[in-house]
């Protein structure tokens, strides 16, 4: 069998971040954190998680995700910018 040629390794960029996560509250038990998460979901918050935190994962935090605004693409080097003033 013929061997396949190895392709040059290209840098793979991670997928873009879609949500900005902020901590809402911190709890000593999962049950109280889960109750807070369910309350937030009833209020209409879509992206809510319970995450372990603290020393040895002994605490739980409720985090809420807000969508990020998309930024306009930057001009790359070597590309000419359009002139603002047109010749008369």
Is 75 within a domain?
no
What average pLDDT is seen over the chain?
A: 84
- In terms of residue numbers, what domain contains 35? 19-67
| 59-67 sheet: strands from edge to edge | 19-27, 59-67, 48-53
Given a cut of 90, whether residue 63 has pLDDT beyond it is yes
Q: Are 65 and 25 in contact (CB under 8 A)?
A: no
Total domains in the chain come to 1
Is 48 within a domain?
yes
Is 86 within a domain?
no
Mean of the pLDDT values across residues 42-47?
93
pTM of the model: 0.62
């Amino acid at each position: 069998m013929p061997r396949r040629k190895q392709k040059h390794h290209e840098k793979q960029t991670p997928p873009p971040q879609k949500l900005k996560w902020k901590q809402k509250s911190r709890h000593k038990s999962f049950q109280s954190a889960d109750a807070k998460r369910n309350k937030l979901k009833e209020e209409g918050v879509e992206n809510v998680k319970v995450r372990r935190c603290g020393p040895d994962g002994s605490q739980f935090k409720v985090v809420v995700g807000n969508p990020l605004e998309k930024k306009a693409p930057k001009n790359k080097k070597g590309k000419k910018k359009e002139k603002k003033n047109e010749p008369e």
